[in-house]
Structure 1
Amino acid sequence: MTAICTDTLANVHFRLHWEEHDICHEDRFYAQNVNMWRDYFPGELGKALTGLEKGSSIRVPFMPGIHLPCRDEGKVQRVSRSSFKPGMTGIVPVRGRFYPQGVLRGLPGIFPQNINPFRVIDMDETTLTVDLNHPLAGVHAELDIAALDVWAKTAEFGGQCQDWICALTDGPGLKRKPAQGMDFGLGRPLDKPLGGNDAAFYSTPRKVAHVDSQARAVIEGIYASLLTGKKRILDLMAGWQSHLPHGVTASGLGMNAEELADNPALSTFLVHDLNANPVLPYGEGSFDAVVCSLSVEYLTRPVDVFREVARVLEPGGLCVMVFSHRWFPDQAVRIWTELHEFERVAMVAQMFRLSGRFQGLHTLSERGWPRPMDARDRYYPMIQHSDPVHAVWGWVNA
């Protein structure tokens, strides 16, 4: 078999595993046409890749100072609040949130075009304490490298050098929970920027595919890995697609009866508006799993709903929230639209935490896959990459 070397190209799947504050994180990235002659890999990762054949994999340590920056306390600085100048009205600093470094004025080495993130870790009436470290600085992790395909080059024309590890680590650190906590406003009902009546919006069936077919396959794979043996599943905020593995059925709770009736994965369904009434119309312990696909961003009282989810789950029952970066613009809550996609992972994890009913939290993010050619996909070929998929799950306290 052909092995990865400087005379080959390869499609490689990276899976970064790390744990912090009792949450297990996994960040996956698909790297297409990896070229060992041209692309950059820090430390010994190039050697680890060399020699892998199609279908083989290896796990290596992923260390600060080699693959990630070390944490530098000198990059934690106190600045005047007047130095925070986002250039857009309505954007204010919030403890625990990330912003582009370019919104800070007067700091050496930072220019307005700088989009590298920094975090506000503390604040008072006159000052901000900001952390300019890489969001994953200091994290100890493990990296799985799998060769999905390897083939010999027919020619070498040069081209752009890729830093695949930079691509893998660009974003995941934004879901880290700071010691000082994060403020997503979950202690009060969340507002929607365009307001509107949910019942009126969903009175019309909206049978659109929210993500592309590759992303849908990723979601199905997540559910397949987590729902083994589960027989009493609730599809929360369901529509005409459940993204469940073939042959798996569920009870559905959604907003449009026509969509729910057309969903082949639903054995039964109820119409219910969770924003009008977060109480689920089921008894305690009715289900052993609850899934929610591409809809958590519409909840205005998410913590109340998560507590209800815990109530209708049996002890040790599983709750899985899956989402992407596409939604109905006039239905998502305002803060969701203002966050980086990895901050949304942190926000959903915070919903689990604040409910006080879940343990064993995990997050998973999958990015980088090529977007399949699909005449029904309005974004192809304008967008070349598949929609990212993020998931957060946990189990009800036994």
Structure 2
Amino acid sequence: MKRLDMDCLAAISFEIRWSSPEALHREHFMARKANMWRDIFPAGMKEVLMGQPAGGESIISYQPGQAVPPRSRQDVLSTRTQNFMPREFLGRKVEPARGRFYPRGMLAGAGFFSTDMRPCRITSLDERELWVDCAHPLSDCNVEIKARVEDLAAKECETGGRMNHWMEEILGSGPGMQARAGDAPTEFAHDHGFERNDSTDDARFYSSPRFIDHIDARAREFLAGEYARELQPDMKVLDLMSSVTSHLPQDMQLQVTGLGMNPEEMQANPVLDSHVIQDLNLYQELPFNDESHDAVLCSLSVEYLTSPWAIAREVARVLRPGGIFMVGFSNRWFPPKVVRLWQELHEFERCGFVLDLLLQTGSFKDLESISIRNWWRPDDDPHIAQTRVSDPVYVVKGRRV
């Protein structure tokens, strides 16, 4: 049996678990071509992986500052608010907000180069002064890492190439940004945050059916798998902002109602038992009784809501106690109808935004965020020529109290 050694190239899936005061978090990442001789792994990880066969796995827990750079006294600084150098995005200036992340180059007056794209977080501000945290978002967190050897291949003659620092690849690209900065909510809402490029009647935009998949087949499989973790046979499920695909597990007997904009799409959806036409940007009240559903799903659509907090409150109303609300999304959307705020946010800040929707209702517990990134795109996918990487999948979920 082939085992992992220095002469191998390995596919290794990582699952990183950490927690914030408001939620649990799981980050899944595929190291698709790990070079055991060249690449950098967190302390102790390479040693426990060596000798493992395909399917072998190991779990190591790390204290704050071990898996990611530790916090230092220089990471927290204060500067004058006027040192924030706003840049234009989608035709408007980006203004500072508490809890949000920005490139350090936007604080050029505080000693950073204007080209510095490393993230920093504004932890507090007023008209005169703002405080910034430049530490890694996970620097204060305990982190558990499970590594599983998925596949092994012999390495060709070593003549150079890229060296991967896998924790920088996985944890240096956003994980941690979902969490709040302290106890206060992040200031997501702003005056123009829910404007869209196309503000005309949504009914006109969605009048023609679109029989398309919004994410690739592997990403759809992952999304359905996350939903399957919480669903049970015979549950009464509301598929919010539904279309031709509900991303539900195929072998589960569910009672599914779709609520969406296009009747032809929902009529073609094989899992829907019934459907309702409603524009949630015009009418936020859901046409269902209190505590009438076991689960509510919103797949690949939350980015189009102009009154998302109102919709979250309505979801809480129609869920039974103990019912689950799950929101899945990726990094693809219809540009005319996506709200401005969604485009401003880092992908992991979007997880924080959706968590905030649930938190602000005061009606959800057991909150969790999940990210799944860097898997292979299926070979028969129409976009394989543009990228061999599968679409990322993010899920935020909470249980009705």
Does residue 182 in structure 1 map to residue 186 in structure 2? yes
The residue that corresponds to 1:50 in the other structure is 50
Shift of 1:389: 0.5
The residue that corresponds to 1:192 in the other structure is 196
Amino acid at match of 1:312: V
The residue that corresponds to 1:384 in the other structure is 388
- CA change 1:188–1:316 in 2 (3 A) is farther
* TM-score under structure 1 length normalisation: 0.95
The residue that corresponds to 2:148 in the other structure is 146
Once residues 33 and 209 of structure 1 are traced to their aligned partners in structure 2, the CA distance between those partners, rounded to angstroms, is 28
- CA change 1:130–1:230 in 2 (3 A) is farther
Assess if the C-alpha contact under 8 Å between 2:87 and 2:93 holds in 1.
no
Q: Secondary structure at the match of 1:226?
A: coil
Assess if the C-alpha contact under 8 Å between 1:373 and 1:381 holds in 2.
no
The residue that corresponds to 2:314 in the other structure is 308
- CA change 1:262–1:344 in 2 (3 A) is same
Q: What number of residue pairs does the alignment pair up?
A: 394
Amino acid at match of 2:215: V
The residue that corresponds to 1:128 in the other structure is 130
Assess if the C-alpha contact under 8 Å between 1:285 and 1:315 holds in 2.
yes
The residue that corresponds to 1:70 in the other structure is 70
RMSD over aligned Cα atoms: 1.8
Assess if the C-alpha contact under 8 Å between 1:11 and 1:30 holds in 2.
yes
The residue that corresponds to 1:295 in the other structure is 301
Q: Secondary structure at the match of 1:104?
A: helix
Assess if the C-alpha contact under 8 Å between 2:192 and 2:340 holds in 1.
no
**Per-residue displacement from partner, 1:326-346 (whole Å, max 9, x unpaired)?**
111111111011110100000
Once residues 362 and 48 of structure 1 are traced to their aligned partners in structure 2, the CA distance between those partners, rounded to angstroms, is 29
Once residues 293 and 6 of structure 2 are traced to their aligned partners in structure 1, the CA distance between those partners, rounded to angstroms, is 53
Assess if the C-alpha contact under 8 Å between 2:22 and 2:179 holds in 1.
no
Q: Equivalent of 1:276, from 282, 306, 321? A: 282
Unaligned runs of 5+ in 2: none
Once residues 36 and 230 of structure 1 are traced to their aligned partners in structure 2, the CA distance between those partners, rounded to angstroms, is 47
Q: Secondary structure at the match of 2:188?
A: coil
Matches within 5 A, 1:174-323: 174-179=177-182, 180-185=184-189, 190-229=194-233, 231-248=235-252, 249=254, 250-323=256-329
Deviates more, 1:348-357 or 1:131-140: 131-140
- CA change 1:189–1:93 in 2 (3 A) is closer
Q: Equivalent of 1:172, from 161, 170, 175? A: 175
Unaligned runs of 5+ in 1: none
Question: How many percent identity over aligned positions?
Answer: 39
The residue that corresponds to 1:104 in the other structure is 107
Q: Equivalent of 2:338, from 332, 335, 354? A: 332
Q: Secondary structure at the match of 2:93?
A: coil
Deviates more, 1:253-262 or 1:2-11: 2-11
Shift of 1:230: 5.2
- CA change 1:187–1:360 in 2 (3 A) is farther
Once residues 229 and 50 of structure 1 are traced to their aligned partners in structure 2, the CA distance between those partners, rounded to angstroms, is 41
